[in-house]
Amino acid sequence: MRQIGFKNFRKFQDFPAIDLAPITLLVGENNAGKSTVVKAILALLDFLNSNVANSGFNDKSTSILNQQFYFNKSYFTHIGTFQRALYNKAKEDVITFEITFDHYKFVIEVAGDREDEEAISGRVSRMLITLLEYNIDFDFDFRRDIIHATFHHDPNPLYHPNVNEDDDIFRDLKGKSKKKYFSTFNEDVKFDMPISGMESYSLGNNIGSLFSIALGRINATIIASKGGDKQPMLPIAQKVAIEGLDIFTLQFLTKNSRVFDDLGTLTSFSLYSDFLDASVEYIYAHAVTQAVTYSAKDINDYIVRTIHEFANQRVPKGTPIHAFIVKWMKEFKIGVDYEIKSMGGEAHTVKIESSDGTHVNLADKGMGSIQLMILLFRLATKMAISGVGLGGKLKDSTIIVEEPEQNLHPMLQSKLADLFYSLNKEYGFHLIIETHSEYLIRRTQVIVGENYNTPEELANNPFKVFYFPSDGPCYDMVYQTSGMFQEKFGDGFFNEAGKLHMTILQNTKKGV
């Protein structure tokens, strides 16, 4: 996930797309919009990962046109209805979302009725899907049943190949193949085609199905223009050639038939792969309880669910994931090891080993230690599910953490920055952190100042801090090579402790 932006959503009329860093920190006043950004991400991923409304559609069915964007699917999103999601001063009853990944960009328009207090969804009236690698736009106009296709003759500036991308699923489309594609035309190619009217079965999520429709029609058109009895690679592309195309457009499609064949196969797979890897783990600010036994009957409790899910991974001692947990237990002065025991599969107990060899229940540790262990178990579960423990790195998995500094001593709040830095550098996690902790932010400045001493090095700094004032747009604080920020925080954040200290000094002078 590289960018997020939206219009007419919650407190923002216009939230221009911001560039997310490997470790993005959102700070600012209460009710300034930090949680709105997180809710936008969660709601968008719920939609992008959802399955097509109907497993099949044909000439008599247009269910594919009825795309619904739900505001109540995710427990963590806490939006509820279209009315609550809509900016209260919006001129139109339309919310627009924009999100960018490594290979794809999506712009989604959701229309609804602000007078309907019970509508838990809005209709997706338009969805623009951009394949960044080849700078192809498929603009789905669901109200008019039209796909506006645009093939841009210049590369997309948002596309930045990964250094190891030659080894991924796009390897056949790299180098000469891609250069040759852009050399086949010197002006944009545009044409329209219908969305509905195809015999199809969903190839996975909604987005994969929509891509398959567009690419299926293109491949069918190429085959029809060439003549012969060859059948398209995708089974959905039966007798659905696009009509009325001019000679220039047909020649462009025919010249690049191999590219579109490959895209028809690779895009469906990569969409599934990208969204699987791009799934978000949301670690929200939860209450800490001090129970000795964690019963499966209380599985709705976040702490209980975390312990059960981690225990089910059965992480052996001596493995990289176990080593990760133990290392950070020591860093945070929690203990030197842990032990989880199952009680007939119906409950678990967690004990912490101290440096002197004694064992105590996790419940008997401080609130901060309990919270940190839940954070470590949550992260370790994600590692185990993603195969990180086998030595790999996460491709694009984002962890959102809400106020991780809860219950923590200032020194441990500071150390959170080291944990997040390690998670990115060693394991490939991308992180979005909502925080009010000055100590966490200050520690990121030290890390930057110690490790990124030239402008070239600073460009690879994984941290980015966005400050949200009570009024006005958020802004990037911008790190300098010293670790200092180029911009200033709003009143009441970094300067609050200094102001109180000055007041104490003034009172001391009065006493003298």
Phi and psi at 301, nearest 5°, equal -75, 130
pLDDT at 267 over 70: no
pLDDT in tens, 239-248: 688 989 999 9
pLDDT in tens, 69-93: 999 887 777 789 999 999 999 999 9
Average pLDDT, the chain: 85
* Spatial distance between the Cα atoms of 346 and 185, rounded to a whole number of angstroms: 64
pLDDT at 494 over 60: yes
Which of these, 213, 193, 191, lies nearest to 203 by C-alpha position? 213
* Spatial distance between the Cα atoms of 459 and 15, rounded to a whole number of angstroms: 25
Residue 123 pLDDT? 95
Label residue 63 by pLDDT band (50, 70, 90).
Answer: confident
Label residue 56 by pLDDT band (50, 70, 90).
Answer: very low
Residue 180 pLDDT? 82
Mean pLDDT of 424-435: 93
Pairing of strands 146-151, 136-141: antiparallel
Pairing of strands 359-361, 398-402: unpaired
pLDDT at 58 over 50: no
The residues with which 88 forms a beta bridge, in sequence order, are none
For the chain, give the percent of residues with pLDDT over 70: 85
Torsion of CA 430, 175, 173, 169, to 10 degrees: -40
Label residue 231 by pLDDT band (50, 70, 90).
Answer: low
Residue bearing the bigger pLDDT, 352 or 390: 352
pLDDT at 363 over 60: yes
pLDDT at 260 over 90: no
> Rounded to whole angstroms, what are the CA distances from 241 to 105, 196, 198, 446, 486?
26, 13, 10, 60, 55
- The domain locations on the chain are 33-277, 288-391
Least confident of 5-9, 144-148, 223-227: 223-227
The residues with which 26 forms a beta bridge, in sequence order, are 434, 466
pLDDT at 108 over 60: yes
pLDDT in tens, 278-331: 567 889 888 777 788 888 788 788 899 999 999 999 999 999 999 999 999 999
Which residues are within 8 A (CB) of 166 and not within 5 positions of it... i.e. 6 or more apart? 174, 175
pLDDT at 173 over 70: no
* Spatial distance between the Cα atoms of 52 and 345, rounded to a whole number of angstroms: 36
For the chain, give the percent of residues with pLDDT over 90: 58
Predicted TM-score (pTM) of the model is 0.88
pLDDT in tens, 211-225: 888 988 998 899 888
For residue 354, how many other CB atoms are within 10 A of its CB? 13
Are 101 and 274 in contact, with CB atoms under 8 Å apart? yes
Which of these, 122, 99, 88, 82, lies nearest to 38 by C-alpha position? 99
Residue bearing the bigger pLDDT, 335 or 344: 335
Which residues are within 8 A (CB) of 261 and not within 5 positions of it... i.e. 6 or more apart? 219, 233
pLDDT at 177 over 50: yes
Label residue 489 by pLDDT band (50, 70, 90).
Answer: very high
pLDDT at 166 over 50: no
Are 127 and 106 in contact, with CB atoms under 8 Å apart? yes
C-alpha gyration radius of the chain: 26
Which residues are within 8 A (CB) of 389 and not within 5 positions of it... i.e. 6 or more apart? 315, 319, 320, 321, 383
pLDDT at 199 over 70: no
Which residues are within 8 A (CB) of 507 and not within 5 positions of it... i.e. 6 or more apart? none
Label residue 237 by pLDDT band (50, 70, 90).
Answer: very low
* Spatial distance between the Cα atoms of 378 and 509, rounded to a whole number of angstroms: 50
Mean pLDDT of 116-137: 94
Query: Please, which contacts does 151-158 make with residues 24 or more away whose CB atoms are closer than 8 Å?
Result: 151/185, 151/188, 151/189, 151/190, 151/252, 152/188, 153/182, 153/185, 153/186, 153/187, 153/188, 153/189, 154/182, 155/182, 156/130, 156/132, 158/2, 158/3, 158/100, 158/105, 158/132
Mean pLDDT of 8-30: 95
Residue 270 pLDDT? 54
φ/ψ bin of 218: left (φ > 0), alpha (ψ from -120 to 50), beta (otherwise): alpha
Residue 495 pLDDT? 80
Are 452 and 458 in contact, with CB atoms under 8 Å apart? yes
Residue with tokens 């441990």: 412
**What secondary structure does DSSP assign to 191-259, as a single string?**
EEEESS---EE--SBHHHHHHHHHHHHHHHHHHHHH-SSPPPSSTT-SS-PPPS--HHHHHHHHHTHHH
Label residue 64 by pLDDT band (50, 70, 90).
Answer: confident
Residue with tokens 């996975």: 204
pLDDT at 271 over 50: yes
Out of 50-59, 208-217, 391-400, give the one with best mean pLDDT.
208-217
Out of 197-201, 304-308, 444-448, 495-499, give the one with best mean pLDDT.
444-448
